[in-house]
Amino acid sequence: MANLKQLSELEGFFTPGHRMCAGCVAPVVVRQVAMAAGDTPVVVANATGCLEVASTIFPYTAWRCSWIHNAFENTAATLSGVETAYRALKKQGKITKDIKFIAFGGDGGTYDIGLQSLSGAMERGHNMVYICYDNGAYMNTGIQRSSATPQFADTTTSPAGKVIPGKVQWRKDLAAIMAAHNIPYVAQVAPSHFNDLIAKVQKALAVDGPAFINAMAPCPRGWRYDTREGIEMTRLAVETCYWPLYEVENGEWRLTYKPREKKPLVEWLKKQGRFRHLFTEENKPLLEEFQRRVDQEWEKLLKRCGEA
């Protein structure tokens, strides 16, 4: 278990002096990742998005490390090139210290337009950790739906109304897709469970080869919740089993947290304005359908982890 007091005293590679929105959980994820990395030298590649825009407003930066800005779609490709150059220089004796490589991308730049780049880097076996901060939409460009957006969520491109009840498709299971690449380490995390997150990042940094971590990072603008409740949003997502915590280590699936009492999904949904339209009499069947699907996915995960 991480010693939080010692970790909090580390300077870390991400400062508090950024300009992310109040209540945004993405910088909390990055700070916890930085705690896990400790004093390890890192090179960070950052896809275009909220995190990149708000942490590097010229002439300021919130990054205390070697940092590269990329387009939405090519973060994994860029960092794989840097990691390859590092290995070549180390082989020549021009670099002697050990350096770790970390990529950060939102769900738009990871699930969707960056998936080809990410898949290629994972398949080639680059020694890097890719971390997706998943806020469930293209928040930086106007809250458009992504393939990470939950079913029935109201977004600007899947507006809830008379025609559709929000996004009609179920969200993509990206962690399972990454696990199918047979890479050494895949995990799903939430910053509300910081010990779990820190332990998994440390595992990911320690493996020889590619690792992928999917981190829930709620957005107050897109999810429409009280800015004080960002971490509560992730806690409820875990406790309702919408966002279970697990890892896949060398092909072995393992549940890392099991709620003592699985909460009903409505406890998570009712705190978010993007699901407000579901709480009407005519949309009650949609709530029931949503709960059924979450239960189904949870049972499927329990079987994969040998806990059914």
134-189 confidence digits (pLDDT tens) = 999 999 999 999 999 999 999 999 999 999 999 999 999 999 999 999 999 999 99
Q: How many domains would you assign to the chain?
A: 1
pLDDT of residue 2: 62
For the whole model, what pTM was predicted?
0.96
Give strand ranges (E) for 180-245: 185-189, 211-216
Q: DSSP class of residue 172?
A: P
8 Å CB contact between 76 and 114: yes
Q: What is the pLDDT of residue 5?
A: 75
**What token pair was written down for 10?**
């580390």
pLDDT at 97: 94
Contacts of 303 (CB under 8 A, 6+ apart): none
In 3D, which of 147, 191, 234 has the Cα closest to residue 27?
Answer: 191
Q: Is the peptide bond before 59 cis (omega within 30 degrees of 0)?
A: yes
* Nearest-5° Cα angle at 249, 244 to 251: 100
What strands lie across the sheet with 66-70, from one edge to the other?
Answer: 66-70, 42-47, 100-106, 129-134, 211-216, 185-189, 246-249, 252-255
Amino acid 6: pLDDT: 76
By residue count, the chain amounts to 308
Quick one: which of 149, 188, 154 has its CA closest to 171?
149
Tens-digit pLDDT profile for residues 32-59: 999 999 999 999 999 999 999 999 999 9
Range of the domain at 295: 4-304
CATH of the domain at 19: 3.40.50.970
Q: Which residues of the chain are modeled with pLDDT < 70?
A: 1-2
Say how many C-beta atoms besides its own lie within 10 A of residue 250's C-beta.
Answer: 10
Q: Cα torsion for 259, 261, 265, 271, to the nearest 10°? A: -90
Judged on CB neighbours under 10 Å (0-12, 13-18, 19+), 172 is: middle
CA distance 220 to 31: 18
- For residue 19 the two structure tokens come to 């300009």
